[in-house]
Amino acid sequence: MDPKSTLSALRDFCAERLGPELAARYVDLARPGFALTEAEDPGEAAGLSRFGGRALLEPGTPWPACDGFPLSLIAVLDTDAMAPWLGDVLPASGAGLLNFFYLDAESEQCDPASYDLMLKHSHYDPEVSRVIPARFTHAVETEPPARSSVFEPIPWAAAPGFAFPDTWDPAWDGFDVGPDADDMARAMPGSYVEGLLTEWSERPGALDSEDIAFGWSQFPTGSSPMLPSGEDPNRYHHLLQLSGQDEWYIGGDGGWMHWSIPTEALRTGDFRRAIPTPDIW
């Protein structure tokens, strides 16, 4: 189905279980996104979307670095292939290819100097991450500099759907659960609504994946996006979630990697303002 039809079917599904008014408020939280899985053959790939490989940059684009140390290409999203489902999430002029870079201080490839840099800056510091766009018609595979990790490329298939905020996401703050709800429901509206939605896995547009493009980020630790200077998470939009790959992961015992961006910066295509918002345990 197309996004409009899928959203309408999702609203009907929720209305049967929540009633029309609560369902309408709940579906207003839905964001279009994609479940990312390894493409089994080239025809399944979402354009050039993939984990790892070489960066796809426009000629002359400087390789991103943290204190002079090169970051590593983690993933590429081909937003041209995703644009029909995302609607007005992307800038009107498009976003092309998005290259996601991060300071690799975790993989078997990482340079020992990266450890000290990560201790200095932390996993949440914008200096250890970059998101760099490139026009599809201009982008070329770019050789990484020395000390930058290169991971085996894994093309992604992208199944479209609609995501909802994590139970603990600040998006639930002030959510109206209706006059008949008790104090516990008002305190934990996400849990309350999800408890009423039986057969949730069968909903239209189900987005069920640990690796997600756009949509909403999920936080296994029951946390929420860690933003600089106490900024409001509701003013940010999720870009990419990675639960971990065979060659690369984040954090000490584990973690899920996220990148987010102010919504108004996403709409104007200013990806210089994208930041890392990982969930580490």
pTM: 0.95
Question: What pLDDT does 229 receive?
Answer: 72
Question: What pLDDT does 251 receive?
Answer: 66
Question: What pLDDT does 198 receive?
Answer: 80
**69-86: buried (b, 16+ CB within 10 Å) or exposed (e) per residue?**
bbbbbbbbbbbbbbeebb
Question: What pLDDT does 223 receive?
Answer: 66
User: pLDDT tens across 239-279, in order?
Assistant: 999 998 778 887 656 789 999 999 999 999 999 999 999 98
Which residues of the chain, if any, have pLDDT below 70? Answer: 222-224, 251-253
Question: What pLDDT does 117 receive?
Answer: 96
CATH class label, 3-280: mainly beta
Tokens of 13: 């599904």
User: CA nearest 170: which of 235, 93, 119?
Assistant: 235
Sequence-ordered list of residues with C-beta below 8 angstroms from that of 136, at least 6 positions apart, any chain:
48, 78, 80, 96, 97
Backbone angles phi, psi at 178, to 5 degrees: 100, 165
Q: What is the dihedral of CA 273, 263, 89, 101, to 10 degrees?
A: 30
Domain ranges of the chain: 3-280
User: CA nearest 150: which of 106, 118, 104?
Assistant: 104
SS3 271: helix
User: pLDDT tens across 92-112, in order?
Assistant: 999 999 999 999 999 999 999
Beta-carbon count within 10 A of 154 CB: 19
Beta-carbon count within 10 A of 42 CB: 7
